């Protein structure tokens, strides 16, 4: 898998990593198949994002995406930050491998979730929910959490085409794990049979 120099730089030297204990908005987005989880924290003053921090659990591409999103968002108005798309982030990074676009490039979604949380807080309707995008196995958009090979199958049970591992969604953490295991390799919960 070949990454651009910009992706490698943001992976090896991520910007704005951490939390904001007094954040005005917090948003979390995850992909249960690949296991990527991104949490964004925003501070807002005079309708501008004055600070953005993130915590990401995922591969190098997920970390690079989160770092780039944070840099793109700081100093922007809320409307300008909401206009940042996953595609514009990938373009700013010099591109991402096709199998990383769906699983790792969720940074803009996490930023938008944090801004939505801020808007809900200011309106008094905050829910603090985690956004988990609907999973779609069409084409080769998804990858195996073990070998990063292409995944195909039904939403609740699927298989990796490359390492031939049958994957099942954990009912506890909603990440995909090897069906042959008795406990989830991500959270340790007992897998339902």
Give me Rg for the CA atoms of the chain. 17
CA-based nearest residue to 63, from 26, 13, 11: 11
CA-based nearest residue to 92, from 75, 114, 67: 67
> Do residues 49 and 25 lie in contact, with contact meaning Cβ atoms separated by under 8 Å?
no
Pick the catalytic residue from 34, 143, 160, 184: 34
Pick the catalytic residue from 59, 103, 142, 143: 103
| Residue 163 appears among annotated catalytic residues | no
**φ and ψ at residue 109, rounded to 5 degrees:** -65, -40
Helix residue ranges per DSSP H, 26-164: 60-73, 78-82, 86-92, 98-101, 107-123
Tokens of 82: 């909401």
In angstroms, how far is the first alpha carbon of the chain from the final one? 35
Output DSSP code: residue 131.
B
Sheet holding 37-45, edge to edge: 25-30, 37-45, 48-57
| Residue 34 appears among annotated catalytic residues | yes
Give me the active site residues, please: 34, 103
């Amino acid at each position: 898998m070949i990454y651009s120099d910009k992706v490698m730089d943001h992976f090896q030297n991520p910007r704005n990593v951490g939390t904001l204990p007094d954040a005005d908005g917090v948003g979390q987005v995850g992909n249960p198949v690949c296991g990527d989880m991104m949490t964004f924290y925003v501070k807002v003053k005079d309708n501008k994002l004055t600070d953005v921090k993130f915590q990401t659990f995922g591969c190098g591409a997920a970390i690079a995406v989160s770092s780039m999103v944070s840099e793109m968002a700081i100093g922007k108005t809320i409307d300008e930050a909401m206009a940042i798309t996953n595609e514009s982030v990938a373009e700013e990074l010099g591109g991402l491998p096709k199998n990383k676009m769906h699983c790792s490039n969720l940074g803009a979604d996490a930023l938008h979730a944090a801004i939505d949380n801020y808007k809900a807080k200011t309106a008094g309707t905050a829910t603090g929910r985690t956004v988990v995008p609907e999973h779609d196995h069409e084409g080769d958009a998804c990858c195996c959490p073990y070998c990063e090979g292409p995944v195909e199958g039904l939403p609740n049970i699927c298989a990796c085409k490359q390492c031939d591992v049958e994957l099942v969604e954990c009912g506890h953490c909603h990440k995909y794990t090897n069906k042959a295991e008795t406990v989830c390799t991500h959270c340790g919960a007992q897998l339902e049979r």
